[in-house]
Chains A and B, each alone.
Chain A
Amino acid sequence: MSAQAAVAPVTLRRALAAEEAARADFYALLARLLNGPPDAPLLADLAAAGPIEGDPALARAWQELVHASAAMDADAAAEEYETLFVGMGKSQVSIYAGFYSGAPSIDPPRIRIQAALAALGLARNERVTEPEDHFAGLFEVMRVLVAGGAGRRAAALADQKRFFEGHVKPGAALFFEAIGRGRDSNYYRHVAAVGAAFVCLESESFLLD
């Protein structure tokens, strides 16, 4: 063995605990489904997913999403996504957290999110045109905080909690309710039910040690 090899740095990464990996996966899935409609492979994967055993609300919502995914096709999902979320003033449901938290003219949610991201060492890429309070972006931030990524480790639970309670929780329940009430909400009603149940569990879990 050469001397160089003997001193070569070894980087060890601790695997995420199962429940933390599951949290990251849920955030990833919600971010993906809110960032754009599911394509055919994702619908097929969701349709083939197994059940959740545990929290009754999450288990039921998940099973209904699985069934809905089996019945949905990508074109219909794309049309529904467009109708529900796309177009300022014409979308049925606002996909921006600021809409649900009052968006005061002083200290608006976007500015607060920008400051929180900066404190965490994160920032929106300049090429991205969507504002920081897009729910897909907020869930993606949570995924990175939970699982790490983009060259960083998972954030401390206190940091996860602070971002969740400051920027996700205040508008998430109202957002998912709005999707459920959307006139043309069909597939996304089930996505919203899973999101609502998951966010509820997250809220409760952050109260525990």
Chain B
Amino acid sequence: MKTMKPTNRRNFLLAAGLGGAGVAAAVVAKGRKPEAKAGAKLSSQPSGYHASEHILKYYKTTEV
């Protein structure tokens, strides 16, 4: 029997494995506090992944 590919975007993403168990979230949202230097500003966005100096810099990159 031929397997039909989802034609709906949401179903397509879910079938691809995005959203099922929270893939990257499993990596990044384990409740570990980011190791930022004292005084470093953290984004208010609860990203969960390790907020190194590098990623803090990129949060600043995208500040409005």
Contact = CB atoms under 8 A, between A and B. Distances in A.
Interface of A: 17-23, 25-26, 28-29, 31-32, 35-36, 39, 41-42, 45-46, 48-50, 52-55, 58-59, 62, 121-125, 127-128, 130, 136-137, 140-141, 144, 147-152, 201, 204-206, 208-209
Contact of B64 (A22, A121, A204): A121
Contacts, number: 167
B17 to A, nearest CB: 2
A146 B25 CA distance: 15
A205 B60 contact: no
Given A123-B64, A128-B57, A201 B45 contact: no
Interface string B4-46: 0011111011111111111111111110100100000001110
Contacts of B54: 32, 35-36, 136
Interface SS of B by simple majority: loop
B61 A22 contact: no
A59 B49 CA distance: 20
Contacts of B20: 18, 22, 52-54
Interface of B: 6-10, 12-30, 32, 35, 43-45, 47-50, 52-55, 57-64
Nearest to A137: B61
A149 B25 contact: no
B23 A150 contact: no
Contacts of A21: 19, 22, 25
Given A52-B17, A204-B12, 6 more contacts: A17-B10, A22-B25, A23-B18, A45-B28, A49-B23, A149-B62
A152 B29 CA distance: 21
Contacts of A150: 43, 45, 59, 62-64
A204 B24 CA distance: 20
A109 to B, nearest CB: 16
B49 A29 contact: yes
A100 B13 CA distance: 27
26 contacts: A19-B19, A22-B22, A25-B22, A25-B23, A28-B24, A28-B28, A28-B47, A29-B49, A31-B55, A41-B50, A42-B50, A45-B28, A45-B32, A50-B23, A52-B21, A55-B15, A55-B16, A55-B17, A121-B64, A140-B55, A140-B59, A141-B62, A144-B45, A150-B43, A150-B45, A205-B12
